[in-house]
Chain A
Amino acid sequence: MLQKTKSYLKTMLSVGKMFFCALILMGLSFSAWGAPVTLEYWHFYGAEVGREHENLVAEFNRLHPDIQVNVLYGGTAWTMRDRLFLALSGNQGPDVASIDQFWISQLADSGHAVPLDELIKSSPSMQHDDVFPLYWNTAVYEDQIWSMPFSMSNLVLYYNRGLLEELSLGEEDLPRTWDQLLEIGTAVAEREGGPKLAAILDLPLLAAKGNMYPWVAFLWQNGGELFSPGFDQVEFQSPAGVETMSFWKELQNKGLISAHTPEKAWESGKVLFQIASSARMLTNYRHLDFSFGIAPLPRKDFRVTGVGGSNLALFAKEEQKQAAAWTFIEWITSPETNLEWSLRTGYAPLRRSAYSSRAFQEAMDENPDLKAAFQEILYARCRPNIPSYGDISRELGYAIEEVMLLGAKPEEALKKAAVISNKILQGQ
C-alpha cells in the first residue's frame, strides 16, 4: 500500500514538474512573442530638428507596437562619430544610426555597416528609382549602397530683406554671378552711411567651421575638380582651384568676407548675405525676427551647389533586429514620412513622389524660398565617398586658412596641400 502511494506520489510529482516546466516555457514563449523588438538608434540632430526627429521616432513607435526604437542623441556630428566608432569597435554599437555621408567607407571597410543593396531590391515599398539619383550617390561606396539617404540639404544664398532695402537694393540686385557678388559687395563695403553691418557675406573661412564645403562648391562652379577620375591623385591645385582661392582672397581683401565674423552674426540681423545649408530655413531660422529670402549661390562657369546632410546606416546583424531596423528605415524614408520630414524641417525631399506631391507643390507655392532652395537640387553635387576624404578635406581646409589668415599665396598653399593629400591617397 505504502509502495503504491509512493509510486503514485512520484508520478504525480513528475506530472507536476512537467506541467510546471510547460507553464514556464509557455510563459517565456508568450512573453517573447508579445514583447516588441527593441532597437537602439543614435542620431545627432540637435535643437529644433532634434525635437522634430524624436517626434517622428515616437510616431514610428506608436504605429509599430511590435518594434520599440530607443533614441540616443549623440551630440554634435563629431562627438557622435567618436562615440559611434568606439562603440562599434567594442561591438557595443547601435542597431541603426544617423551618419555623415563620409563615414561610410570606414564603416563598410570595418565590416560594421550592413550593405543595403539586397534589402532595397527586395523591399516593395522602397522604390529605388523614386529616390533622386543624386542622393544615392551619397550612399554608394565601391559600387555598393551602404547607407540610406535621409536628411539632405544643399548650399544656398540667404539674404536679409530689411538690410537689402536699407541699402536701397532690390531683389533684382541679388548677385547671380561671382562678378556681381564682388561688384555689389564692394559697393556696400565702400558706401558711406547706412546700416552698420557685422559682415557683408557670412562664409566660413576656418577649417573648424567647415570652410571646405562651400569652397568645393565654388571650385566646381569654376570647372575644377577635387580628384582625378580614378581617385589616384588630387586636382584641387589646378588653375581652376587657384582661381577659386584667389577669388575668395579678393572677397576678403574687398571686405566682403572675414574669418572674424562674430558667432551668430546672421541671426543678429547684421549680415547682408550668408552661404549656408538650406535645412536651416524652417528650423534654426524659423524664429528670426527679420525677414530673409533664399537665392541660388552666385555662379561662375557652371551652376553648382554642394549636397550635405546625413544618411542612415544599419548595423544590426541578428535577423530579427535587422528586419525590425529595416522596417524603421523603410518607414522613416517612405514617401509620406519623407514629405512630412521635409515640410517640418526644410530638408530636401528624397523622393520624386514627395517632391511632386500636391502638398509639397502647394507648400512651395506658398513659400517661394522653399521653392528657391529645392530647385537647387537640380544643380547639386555630392562629394566623393573615399576612405581618405576626411583627411584630405582637412588638409584643404588648412590650405584655405593659410591663404585667408596667414597670407600664403593660393598656388603655394594648394600645392603644399596637394603634396600631403597625394601621400594620404597613396596610403603613405
Chain B
Amino acid sequence: MRLPGMRAGKKSKLKRSLSGSLALVLPSLFIFLLFELVPVIYSFYLSFTDWTLGRTAHQVVGLGNFKALGQDLELRQAVLRTGKYSLFTAFFSALGGIVLALLLRGGRRERPLSKTVLLIPSIVPFVVIASLWTWIYDPYYGIANWLLSRAGVAGPAWLTSPRWALTALIIMAVWREMGYNALILLAGLGAISGEVLESSLIDGCTKFQSWIYIVLPLLKNSLFFVLAIQIIRGFEVFGPIYTMTGGGPAKATTTMVYYMYQKAFQSYQVGYGAAVSWVIVLITFFFFFMIWKGFRGVE
C-alpha cells in the first residue's frame, strides 16, 4: 500500500536531488551554451552574409555563398583530399588499435603504465608533435629517412613533396591515434567473456576464426565508436597542416578546414568561410551516418 505522505516525501527528495544536480550542471551548461552553441548558431548566420574580417558591418546575401561553393573547384579538391586523409587515418589507426589491444590484452602488459604510455601521443599538444615529426621527416637529418636508408631505400622529401606530404600527415595521425583507439578497444575486449572464446575453441574453431567470427562482431560498438571518432577528427584536421605544411606543397595538404581558414583569415571572407564550415559539418555527418548504417547491419 502506498501512503500519500511517502509519495510526497519521495517527490520532494527527487525535486531536491534534481535541483542539486542542476546546480552542478549549470556552470558547464552555461559555458557550453556560450562558447559552443552560440558560436555554432552565429556561424550559421554568418554563412548567409558577406562579412569581411576586420569590418564590423556586413550584409545578408542569402544563399550567395552556398551557390559560389557549388562552383568552387578548390573546395572540391579539398573535400577529396580530406576524405582520403580521414578514411585512411580512421582505417589504419583502428587496425593498429586492434593489433595493439590484442597484444596488450590480459597478463602483465595490460597494466596502467602501458595504458598511460599508449595515451601519451594523443594527449601531447599538436604543436609539440608537429615539431617532433617535422624533424623526423627532415629529408637530410630525419630519423625516418635514416631508417629507410638502413633498409636500402632512399627516403622521399616527406613534407616538401606534393606526392608524399599527405601520406606523411596520415602516418603521423595514425601513430597519434592508434594508442587512444587501442585503449577503447581494450575496454571492449575486456567485456567479452572468456568462456565464449573457450567454448568456440572447444567447438573446433581456430584462434583466428574465433577472432574473426566472435571477437570482432562483439567489438562492434567499440569499433563503431573508434571509427566514428576518427572520421570526425579526420574531417576537422587543421593543427598539423597549419604548423607543418601550410596547406602545401602545391596545395597537396589543403584540407577542408585549412581551406576554410584560408578563406576566412587569409582572404578575409568570413561569410564564405562560414559557409565552407557548414559544408564540412554536412559531409562529416554524412560519413558518420554511413558508418552507423554499416554497423547496424552487422550482427
Chain A interface residues toward B at CB < 8 A: 81-82, 85-86, 88-89, 91, 106-107, 109-112, 198, 206-208, 259-260, 262-263, 265, 390-391, 394, 398, 401-402, 405-406
Pairwise interchain contact A81-B248, C-beta atoms closer than 8 A: no
Pairwise interchain contact B160-A206, C-beta atoms closer than 8 A: yes
Chain A: minimal CB distance from B50 (Å): 11
Chain B contact patch, size range: 20 to 34
Q: In the complex where A260-B139, A260-B161 touch, is A85 in contact with B53 (Cβ < 8 A)?
A: yes
Stretch at the interface among B96-104, B184-192, B264-272: B264-272
- Bound-state Cα–Cα, A10 to B56, Å: 54
Pairwise interchain contact B266-A405, C-beta atoms closer than 8 A: no
Interface of chain B: mostly helix, strand, loop or mixed:
loop
Q: Which 8 A-B pairs have the closest CB atoms?
A: A208-B246, A260-B157, A110-B54, A401-B250, A262-B140, A110-B55, A85-B54, A85-B53
With an 8 A cutoff between CB atoms, is B222 at the interface? no
Pairwise interchain contact A206-B55, C-beta atoms closer than 8 A: no
- Bound-state Cα–Cα, A92 to B4, Å: 60
In addition to A207-B246, A405-B161, 17 A-B residue pairs with Cβ atoms within 8 Å of each other are: A82-B265, A89-B53, A89-B55, A109-B54, A111-B55, A112-B54, A207-B249, A208-B245, A208-B248, A208-B249, A259-B157, A260-B160, A263-B138, A391-B266, A394-B266, A401-B162, A405-B249
Q: In the complex where A391-B267, A398-B250, A405-B162 touch, is A88 in contact with B54 (Cβ < 8 A)?
A: yes
- Bound-state Cα–Cα, A402 to B250, Å: 6
- Bound-state Cα–Cα, A401 to B249, Å: 7
With an 8 A cutoff between CB atoms, is B43 at the interface? no
A-B contact pairs, 27 of them (CB 8 A): A85-B53, A85-B54, A86-B53, A89-B53, A89-B55, A89-B56, A91-B56, A107-B54, A109-B54, A110-B56, A111-B55, A206-B248, A207-B248, A208-B248, A259-B160, A259-B161, A262-B138, A262-B139, A262-B140, A263-B134, A391-B267, A394-B266, A398-B251, A401-B162, A401-B248, A401-B249, A405-B162
Query: Which residues of A are found within 8 Å of B55, using beta-carbon distances?
Result: 89, 109-111
Query: Which residues of A are found within 8 Å of B246, using beta-carbon distances?
Result: 206-208
> In this complex, what residue of A is CB-closest to B270?
A89
With an 8 A cutoff between CB atoms, is B52 at the interface? yes
- Bound-state Cα–Cα, A401 to B248, Å: 9
Interface residues as binary, B157-190 with A (CB distance below 8 Å gives 1, 0 otherwise): 1001110000000000000000000000000000
With an 8 A cutoff between CB atoms, is B141 at the interface? yes
With an 8 A cutoff between CB atoms, is B234 at the interface? no
Chain B interface residues toward A at CB < 8 A: 52-56, 134-135, 138-141, 157, 160-162, 245-251, 265-268
> In this complex, what residue of A is CB-closest to B53?
A85
- Bound-state Cα–Cα, A262 to B136, Å: 12
Query: Which residues of B are found within 8 Å of A86, using beta-carbon distances?
Result: 53
- Bound-state Cα–Cα, A406 to B162, Å: 8
- Bound-state Cα–Cα, A88 to B265, Å: 13
Could you say which of A91, A198, A265, A390 contacts B267, with CB atoms under 8 Å apart? A390
> In this complex, what residue of B is CB-closest to A259?
B160
- Bound-state Cα–Cα, A281 to B223, Å: 55
- Bound-state Cα–Cα, A405 to B265, Å: 26
Query: Which residues of B are found within 8 Å of A111, using beta-carbon distances?
Result: 55
Query: Which residues of A are found within 8 Å of B54, using beta-carbon distances?
Result: 85, 88-89, 106-107, 109-110, 112
- Bound-state Cα–Cα, A259 to B52, Å: 34
- Bound-state Cα–Cα, A270 to B71, Å: 47
> In this complex, what residue of B is CB-closest to A209?
B246
Query: Which residues of A are found within 8 Å of B268, using beta-carbon distances?
Result: 85, 106
Chain A: minimal CB distance from B15 (Å): 41
Could you say which of B52, B134, B250 contacts A405, with CB atoms under 8 Å apart? B250
Query: Which residues of A are found within 8 Å of B157, using beta-carbon distances?
Result: 259-260
Query: Which residues of B are found within 8 Å of A109, using beta-carbon distances?
Result: 54-55
Query: Which residues of B are found within 8 Å of A406, using beta-carbon distances?
Result: 162, 250
> In this complex, what residue of B is CB-closest to A270?
B140
- Bound-state Cα–Cα, A82 to B251, Å: 21
Query: Which residues of B are found within 8 Å of A391, using beta-carbon distances?
Result: 266-267
Query: Which residues of B are found within 8 Å of A81, using beta-carbon distances?
Result: 265
> In this complex, what residue of A is CB-closest to B51?
A89
- Bound-state Cα–Cα, A95 to B4, Å: 68
Q: Which of A88, A112, A206, A402 has the most CB of B within 10 A?
A: A206
Chain A: minimal CB distance from B157 (Å): 4
Chain B: minimal CB distance from A197 (Å): 11
Query: Which residues of A are found within 8 Å of B139, using beta-carbon distances?
Result: 260, 262
> In this complex, what residue of B is CB-closest to A103?
B54
Chain A: minimal CB distance from B271 (Å): 12
- Bound-state Cα–Cα, A391 to B247, Å: 14
Q: In the complex where A259-B160, A260-B157 touch, is A110 in contact with B52 (Cβ < 8 A)?
A: yes
Query: Which residues of B are found within 8 Å of A112, using beta-carbon distances?
Result: 54
> In this complex, what residue of B is CB-closest to A208?
B246
Query: Which residues of B are found within 8 Å of A390, using beta-carbon distances?
Result: 266-267
Query: Which residues of A are found within 8 Å of B56, using beta-carbon distances?
Result: 89, 91, 110
